[in-house]
Chain A
Amino acid sequence: DVKVTQSSRYLVKRTGEKVFLECVQDMDHENMFWYRQDPGLGLRLIYFSYDVKMKEKGDIPEGYSVSREKKERFSLILESASTNQTSMYLCASSSLHIDRPSSTDTQYFGPGTRLTVL
């Protein structure tokens, strides 16, 4: 059974704190993604990675960075948390479908981390 896990379900941080959100997948997937989910806006891609140490910006990368040192782990970092980063954060992974970096085919999602920044 495929599995994507996220380190925390709920997190409360203060403005200016550095925040780490961790995601681990056990499916040997090449692609991993970080989204934020906000009411009425659906999912918006923050960053994705198609290989170890490789990353690309999504639609809303400002205020975030990522790290992928191992294939199974993809971390999202908020260098200095702000209240407008209060949101649900979803991690996902997928397999590489063709011979170029691709976020194609089925994405498998973790349960999400609900982050509140006070």
Chain B
Amino acid sequence: AQSVTQLDSQVPVFEEAPVELRCNYSSSVSVYLFWYVQYPNQGLQLLLKYLSGSTLVKGINGFEAEFNKSQTSFHLRKPSVHISDTAEYFCAVKVNGEETSYDKVIFGPGTSLSVIP
């Protein structure tokens, strides 16, 4: 079964420092990849997504992610974080629904990013 791993449950980082949030997935078929962010007391919103083409994807708020097929990874990066980036970040994978009638999106467990002033 497909799965999404976010190894770091919590990542504290000082303001203006760079950050990388790691995401690995297990799938032998082609996938679409997403990063969502959840600010406190809010629903999730899309940061960026990879469907095809360039493996480096740029999203909102200065975030970017790189798809690495050989390592089945989709790590999220930002060169300089702000206090306002404090939030929960979810990596998600959509795989083709070979056994079902729909293309399922699988979410990782989330990484809590805390930006320290």
Contacts and interface: CB of A to CB of B under 8 A. Distances in A.
Interface of A: 4, 35, 40-45, 48, 50, 56, 90, 92, 100-112
Interface string B46-70: 1001000000000000000000000
Contact of B41 (A43, A103, A111): A111
B43 A112 contact: yes
Contacts of A111: 41-43
Contacts of A112: 42-43
Interface in B1-53: 4, 9, 32, 34, 36, 41-46, 49
B101 interface: yes
Given A56-B101, A102-B97, A107-B105, A42 B110 contact: yes
B43 A56 contact: no
B102 A109 contact: no
A42 B43 contact: no
A103 B94 contact: yes
28 contacts: A40-B9, A42-B4, A42-B90, A42-B109, A42-B110, A45-B104, A50-B102, A56-B100, A90-B44, A101-B101, A102-B102, A102-B103, A103-B103, A103-B105, A104-B32, A104-B94, A104-B103, A104-B105, A105-B32, A106-B34, A107-B44, A107-B46, A107-B105, A109-B36, A109-B45, A111-B41, A111-B42, A112-B43
Contacts of B104: 45, 103
B43 A100 contact: no
Contacts of B108: 42
Among A90, A101, A102, find the residue whose CB has the most chain B CB atoms closer than 10 A: A102
Contacts of B100: 56
